Structure 1
Amino acid sequence: MSNLNSPSPAVVHRATWRDYLLAITACGATTVLTIPLHDWLELVNTVMLFLLVVVLVAARLGRGPAVLASFLSVGLFDFFYVPPRWSFAVSDAQYVLTFAVMLIVALIISHLTIGLRVRAQEAQQAAERSNALYALASQLAGALTIEQVCDATEHFAQRQLGAHARLLLPAHQDTEATPSHESLVPARPEQSPLERTITLLAQTAFQAPRNHGMQQVGDDGHLYAVLPLAGSTRSRGVLILSSHQSGARELDGHRSLLDALATLVATALERLHFVNVAHQAQLEMNDERLRGSILSALSHDIRTPLTSLFGLADTLTLMQPPLPEQAKEMAGAIRDQAMRLHRMVSNLLDMARLQTGQQAGQLPLRLEWQPIEEVIGASIQLLGHSLDDHPVKVHLDADLPLLSIDAVLMERVFGNLLENAAKYAPPHTEIHISASPEGSHMLISVRNEGTGFPADRLPNIFGVFERGAPESSIPGVGLGLSICRAIVWAHGGRIEALNPPTGGAEVRFMLPLGTPPTIEPEPESGTSPEGRS
């Protein structure tokens, strides 16, 4: 295993025996063409022709044939043109210097020509890859599904790297869970499973996306490159590239290209994720708006006949002369049920109003500094006979500070909590209310002695239309706790439901204390403001 951080290899032509044969043929052809012109050509011009052949061989055939052409040109020049001709003997020592300079110049020219050729090939290859990356970026920018991202990535890897590409994505892409707690699954489920070693490498790269990619030779002899897809907020998956055949060029020689490919794929996956999140948020917003409109319309249309029904039933119970006892009991039952239904409709209307205010970013509150004990007492009085079977025990710390609250809305919170506690508790059991300061907040608790909340429903107990027991015969529509949460949040507090170890169900919420105003003591009777009697 190694990191994909080596530089890009030079583009060097691998010479074959045909290239060497062509180099020999070129030198021989030059000799054949220049021998008849020996009497008219100066030796220096003949040297230039041989150097030209070396340049052409270097430009077309590569380094090895160019070196061979350099030595062969010097030998042919010595044998055919330098006196004494037709032998390798040298009559003048100056020709030795000529041969040395000719060989050195030929080698230097061949080296420079090959370097220029390599640079030109690299520039052409870089331009082709830039165009390919631009085309890939355009395809990924227009991709609407992960399937299209896979198609574009696989096509690019095949064309530019001669490799097969596979995408591994988090099992739950719609969450922002920690990568260490997530598993990877293939983007195309129909693909064959990977080797266990490659899968472990992919999981490691997913958990540490800022690290370099890794390469591994698999049991099948193929080279695998594992690239993390690091997004702006979290890792979006892993890209695995594998060579198709043994002896394929190593993928770690193209680090910059692989980095660009991983960045483009990660950006495309992150864009698809946020598009999906925005789409889901828009759908939820539309659902909430439609539901709020329906609730508001129904609540307004139902409250008027309910009020009339309650008034008529109450009038029947107070008629003079009084109705027969059985008829009076039936009228009282109609009145009580109408009142219960009126409370349900009021909850619906309140929930619609609260949701509308939250969506608009403003929930109007009439904040005043109030003692919490008065709000609790008013809520207990408001429920009246609903708490006859459940004595309420209030436990308050001494000298509780004032709270900046909307007393009407806070009474609604206590009313809903007390009503829920009474409905889900056995008859003749107590309901406990406590309040005490905790740091910069006041902790308030309402607890009953019932069976508690179902453990599996606790995370969603404050949701709209959520009930502790969905199939229960206890009346209600599941809005009471939702209203409590909305009101507490509007006051800058937080709320939670739990099952305490002592049994029963408990709802706790915390409200910020703030800094209450200073209350000046009233002057004693008979004393003037200046202290004179």
Structure 2
Amino acid sequence: MGHLLQRFSGYLMGMLFVLLGTALAAPFRAEIDLSNLALLYVLAVVAVGGHFGRGPAVACALAGSLAFAYVFVPPHFSLAITEIQYVMAAVIMVVVALVVGHLTAALRTQVELARDRARRARALYELAKHLAGSQTAEEVTQTCRRFLADALGARRIRLLEPATWDQPPPFITKALVRACLERRQLVAIPSPAPGISRALLPLAGTRDLQGLLGFEVDSGTLDDGEYREALDTMASVVAVALERTQYAAAVRESELRVAAETLRGTILASLSHDLRTPLTALVGMADGLALGKVAGADKQKSMLLRLRDQALAINQLLGNLLEMARLRSGNVELQKEWQPIEEVIGATMGLLEPHAGGREIVINIAPDLPPVHIDGVLIERVLWNLLENALKYSPAEQSIELRVAQSEGWLELSVCDRGEGLAPGQEEDLFGLFRRGRSESNVPGAGLGLAIARTIAEAHGGSVSAANRSGGGACFCLRLPLETPPDLADLADLESETL
């Protein structure tokens, strides 16, 4: 019922305009000239034709001419017109109304066509804009599907890659695929559903076909030349986008290969330098001891201590490699606990003491620091790496300073030295893998300590940064977020539940 009302609404409105105009003008037919009354009906025809099209305009013109002749042309309320001029006036009014209605309806049709063209052009522009930002073939496919469904009313949209041409989806036959590949243009066959066609559109790139686009659509739309033109334009844009994603994927793969080769070369160079040197020293010292070239208990003890130091250096290097591999795997779970930072610093200093060589480390901890929620073992590793780095790259006679303070919502631990400082622009490069302060140096290490420190800090929601120190040297700052610690009563309850 609603569909019928919508379909005949123009005719009903035309009849309503005629009846309303006739009822309003009838009392004044003696005072109004017939030509003016005829223009009133022509105006109604123009209004109906502009809003509802040609059919309602013609119906309105015929109804208006009959109403004009019956009500206003003498003899009134009769179609028996006695004077030829009134007959001609009625006929001319009908002709004028029909012509005006036809022109108005044609103009309305042209306006609707122009709107459709503008809508499709805007949709094609949006399609091209979204395709420009698509990075993968899947994103291109999704964008293409939205365009076909929203702008062109297509259904059951499938993108057939070359590998699937031998086994297309059920609603696309192999014969349809062969026909599309042979003709290199849009092909369609009727669907079992009435009024529906199954279409296949080739996506031709600059080199070859990038795929076939299958979909279902109303059969009548495929006869529209502008619809098919929009499909061809879309196919060209999508094919270029798919081709671009292939080039982008090839470039990314090439970049990954280059980066992998570069990293591999860096690792080999670092390991060959930092392992070969201590291993050569180990072999030389072991040979000296084995051949009895080292005389005296004191010299032999000194040689053994040097052997131990070289072995520890190799062990630390391998430990850093394993630690970085573990952190980069993404499988590390933080074992966070509430604890005072003083305990973490004390444990770190105990581990560092045998390697400090008697160097002075000045510790300055601000009073009344809140506890921190951290993985103590990992934070000890961060402090170890920062302090060891300062010991390596600063003069033996200069002390190392460790400052701990609270800054707004952060706990800041700064390790400062009086070494040569950092080269301008090197502050961030130091935290990369296998990056060292000086590429050619007799200082042992593989350039992993700072990278490990930053990775652990970021896992805690913090950061590690580097800057030159006023008066010479460098400072490395570890920042950890401060959280609200639980109440002591809550901690006691939690411990009792655990026990």
The structure with the greater share of residues assigned to helix is 2
Relative to the length of structure 1, the TM-score reads 0.46
